Amino acid sequence: MRLIRLAPPLLALFGYAAMAADPVDEARARELVDGFVKDVTTFSAGFEQVLLDPDGEVLERTTGTLEISRPGRFRWSYVEPYEQWLVADGLNIWSYDVDLAQVTVKAQADALANTPALLLGGADDALDQFDYQGSYRETVTTWVQLAPKNTDSGFMRVELGFIDDVLSRMVFFDNLDQTTLVEFADLVVNEPIKPERFDFTVPDDVDVVGTPAVAGVLPD
């Protein structure tokens, strides 16, 4: 088990753009990303997430938890200021907005294509959908920049930040010039997670948008 605690304020940690950065060997950078996608079987952490507008102003600040169990399953749960679950069960991805009492379901392969979330599932071909764009080191973090080969998903670039070879920070850049910063805390890597954490049962009296994919059945 690896447990990492990160205490400094989120925005201060993401001041990397204004700081001097040292280049990182491409082979080393690729090794870090390959290690996260291929060698991490489970991953759990709390997170703080900040959404910035094109001028760097904070639009939204949220907190929650992330759990990953590979292959193909993860649970991204927002806790504050609203409750929302994003559950990937290996076949479908379920988005449950608790306040709106609404569930949206999509086939996982389609929903995650060319998005940073694809890297969380750890599919064997996940990295084939991204181009390496560079890497650098600032203070304790090694950053690796990746861009989706297809930007139809709305994401233009993702930066993965590694501390002691463990994914600890993420930055997403979208086609609206907004930036999403994610800081993980209390990370636990390659320890068992209960399988039922990645099962989703639609609650009673909740509207469902979309039709879930069924194993062994080709889409229309």
- Tens digits of per-residue pLDDT, 89-98? 999 999 999 9
Confidence band for 1, pLDDT divided at 50, 70 and 90: very low
Mean pLDDT computed over 26-46: 94
d(Cα 211, Cα 106) in Å, to the nearest integer? 7
Domain assignment present for residue 81? The answer is: yes
Average pLDDT, the chain: 87
pLDDT digits (tens, 9 = 90+) for 5-26: 333 445 555 554 445 578 889 9
97 found inside a domain:
yes
pLDDT given for residue 8 in this prediction:
42
> Residue 162 is part of a domain; what is its CATH number?
2.50.20.10
User: What pLDDT is stored for residue 2 in this prediction?
Assistant: 35
Q: What is the pLDDT of residue 119?
A: 87
Residue whose pair of structure tokens reads 């379901």 in the numeric block:
105
> Would you say residue 209 lies in a domain?
no
Residue 216 lies in a domain: no
Give mean pLDDT, residues 72-76: 95
- Judged against a pLDDT cut of 80, whether residue 85 lies above it is answered with yes
Domain membership of residue 125 (yes or no) is: yes
How would you label 99-122 residue by residue, b for 16+ Cβ within 10 Å and e otherwise? Answer: eeeebebbbbbebbebbbbbbbbb
Compute the distance between CA of residue 8 and CA of residue 178 in angstroms, rounded to an integer. Answer: 23
Q: Is it the case that residue 46 has pLDDT exceeding 50?
A: yes
Nearest residue to 28 via CA among 125, 170, 137, 123: 137
Tell me 126's DSSP state.
G
Q: Does position 3 have pLDDT exceeding 80, yes or no?
A: no
Mean local confidence (pLDDT), 189-217: 92
**Phi-psi map region of 97: left, alpha, beta (phi>0 left; psi -120 to 50 alpha):** beta
| Per-residue pLDDT, 56 | 87
Partner residues linked to 62 by β-bridges: 49
3-state helix, strand, coil in the chain (%, to 5): 20, 45, 35
Q: Is residue 108 part of a domain?
A: yes
User: Is the pLDDT higher at 29 or at 124?
Assistant: 29
- 214 within some domain: no
The answer to whether residue 163 scores a pLDDT higher than 90 is yes
How many domains in the chain? 1
For residue 167, tell me if it sits in a domain: yes
Boundaries of domain holding 26: 20-201
Assess contact for 92 and 106: CB atoms under 8 A. yes
